[in-house]
Each structure stands twice: as C-alpha cells, then as structure tokens.
Amino acid sequence: MNATYKPLFDSFAFKNGIEVKNRIVMAPMTNFASNEDGTVTDAEVQYYARRSAGVGTVITACTYVTPNGKGFPGEFAADRDEMVPSLKQLATAIKEQGAKAILQIFHGGRECPPSLVPNGDVVSASVVASQSNASVTPRALSEAEVESIIRDFGEATRRAIEAGYDGVEIHGANGYLVQQFFSAHSNRRTDRFGGSLEKRLTFPLAVVDEVKRTVAEHAKQPFLVGYRFSPEEEYEEGITMEDTRYLVDALADRELDYLHVSLMDFWSLPRRGADDSKTRFQWIQETVGERVPVIGVGSIHTADDALKVFQTGVPLIALGRELIIEPDWVQKIAEGRESEIQTTLTKEDQERLVVPTPLWQAIVNAPGWFPVV
C-alpha cells in the first residue's frame, strides 16, 4: 500500500464501542431487485456480498417500514415479522465478508408511486405534491396515523436487531417522509407536527426517540443508530442550510451514533441559509462534528479524492456509484493498485460486476447517471 493512503485504513470506534476496520462505507443505493413480496433475491444478496469484503461498513438500500411507505419497485421490506428471515439473509451475507451491516429504514411518503401502496393511497405530512411526483397529490396523515408510523420505525428496528444487523440508519433525506415533515414546503400542518421550525422537527425526533427506545429494549449488544439527511431543498420555501444546522444540532443532542449527509458533491456550496465561504459539509461539521461523527459523501471517485476529503477531518467516507463500477475499490488501494481502479463501465460489464438486472437496466438506460462508455 502507498503509505499516503494509510489513514483511510485506520479502524474507527463509535462511542457505543462498535469498531469498524476502516473508514470506507458503502452508501445506501436502491437496486430495484427484490421480490414482489418484499423478500430479498439471490441476485441482490450476491451483489452486496461482492461489495462487502473491502469496506468497513455497508448501509443497505432503504427498506420500507409500513406497506404505504414502499417507494420503489423491487424494494425490500421490513414491515412485518415474516420478513426477518429475508433481512437476516442479507445481513449474514454482508457480515460474512467482514463488514458491519446497517439497515436503512424508510417511508417514501408523497414520493411513493400509487401502484406500490395499498389502494393507491399516497400519504404525506400535508396535501402538497412534489415536483418529482407532481401527478400525485398525497393525503395528509392523521395524528393517529403519524403516531402509528413512528411505532413502525421502531418495529422495523426490532426486526433488524433480530435479523443480526449491527445498526439502522433512519432515512431522513432525499425528499422522503421524514424530510417531508421537516420541510416547510411539504409540511403545512397546524397540529403539533407542523408550523414552526421546532414543531416540524417533532416527527423526525419522535422517530429517532422510538428507534433508540427499541434498541434499548431489544438489543443485547451495541447497536448503531444513524440518520441521513439532505442539507437543502431547491424549493423556495424548502429546507435551507440554516434549517439543517438546527436539525443536526437537535440530532446531536439525541446522541446518535452518526449522521450521514446526502450530497452529490462533497465540495458543494450552500444555496440559502449560510454564506458560501464554506462548503455545506464544512457548515455541518462546524455545527456538530465534535459531538457526533458525520459521514462524508459525494463524487469521491479515486483514492486521491478520498484522501482529500479525509484531510478535512471527516471520520468516515461513503462511496456509492464507485463501488458499483469498482467492487474492489478498497482492496486495490490496500494492494497498491489504485491506478487500476475502474472509473467507467461498459454495457458488457453486468456479469463481471455482479449487478442485478433491474439495477443494470436502470444504469444503462439513464444517460448521465453512470459513466457508461
């Protein structure tokens, strides 16, 4: 190994005692490959196993916690106890390769296609459609339904514990339900779950509290709880960097094990709510970095990219598309073969890369998403 890259391979210990073998995390990425009934497929398990040997931690694609939260075709489920064997199959495959396995738990809210939820009943914080799903106007959840979904996040956490995962990540990013409650664009409620910035934080924090309560009750050994968030929204009345600093401050007070930023570019600058003298990540790190580990992500392609990010003080670095294109990304750096890391793929690479067919079709049919040559 080139000694320059050695810091990427230092182990990292979370406050609860769980230790990971290096600083590289596989980011959560939807693969559209699960069975209709919500169980994982063999192709999906093989895809994760192929990418779990080098990284220290794997965060799975999102899994829905309740039937009306299914956001994607081919998404796997954690919404009922019958799913525990399926969840266990995936956790085991990841852990057998030497990585920690974290289950990302999720509700799609207004982003759910009507065809995927019972009776086409798409729900959200308020009756406000999103730009990406503009033809669907969601129904506002009642207070009782909101409380039920909070409990569902806890139940999905219990199933993750029973299935042998090392932790869960609450998906509070990318415009899905947890974020919909925090955003003034999508949350127009006048009850205790909406209104002021503080009230819009009620649902996200209630989910965190329920997940942590479940862990305290059911986990027999240390179990990680993380939270992923998107720092800004493009909507004029949407989330700003100022809102996000308020959010992460409150999350840090909940003593989460880590926070995980959702960014396309680690070095991107704020739009609104903070000046652009610092990157979004710098603002977040400055706000909570000394209290809770923050995972950095976004257009980190090469070993040098990762090192540059790591030198900003980021404790952990997540890779998404890079691990699809190059499953041996970590191993090649460890073996001094970083110059051999693949940064593009061809339409003939599916079998070699062990990518499930639904994900592969999405990759080759979405121009600009992946560098296909």
Active site residues: 176
Which residue carries 């990971």 as its tokens? Answer: 20
DSSP string over 327-347: TTHHHHHHTT-GGG----B-T
Per the DSSP assignment, residues forming a β-bridge with 25 are 57, 318
* Contact of 189 with 126, CB cutoff 8 Å: yes
Angle between helices 42-51 and 84-95 (to 10 degrees): 30
Q: Distance (Å, rounded) from C-alpha 239 to C-alpha 232? A: 5
Q: Distance (Å, rounded) from C-alpha 279 to C-alpha 281? A: 5
How would you classify the pairing of strands 316-319 and 24-26? parallel
Q: Distance (Å, rounded) from C-alpha 284 to C-alpha 209? A: 22
How would you classify the pairing of strands 12-13 and 19-20? antiparallel
DSSP conformational letter for 199: H
Coil vs helix vs strand at 139: strand
Q: Distances from the Cα of 258 to the Cαs of 93, 173, 264, 284, in angstroms?
A: 23, 14, 19, 13
Which distant-in-sequence residues (6+ apart) come within 8 Å of 160 by Cβ? 78, 87, 91, 103, 105, 167, 168
Which residue carries 């999350």 as its tokens? Answer: 251
* Burial (Cβ within 10 Å: 0-12, 13-18, ≥19) of residue 242: middle
Which tokens go with 271? 């739009």
Per the DSSP assignment, residues forming a β-bridge with 261 are 229
**How many C-beta neighbours within 10 Å does residue 186 have?**
29
DSSP H/E element including 295: strand 294-297
Coil vs helix vs strand at 327: coil
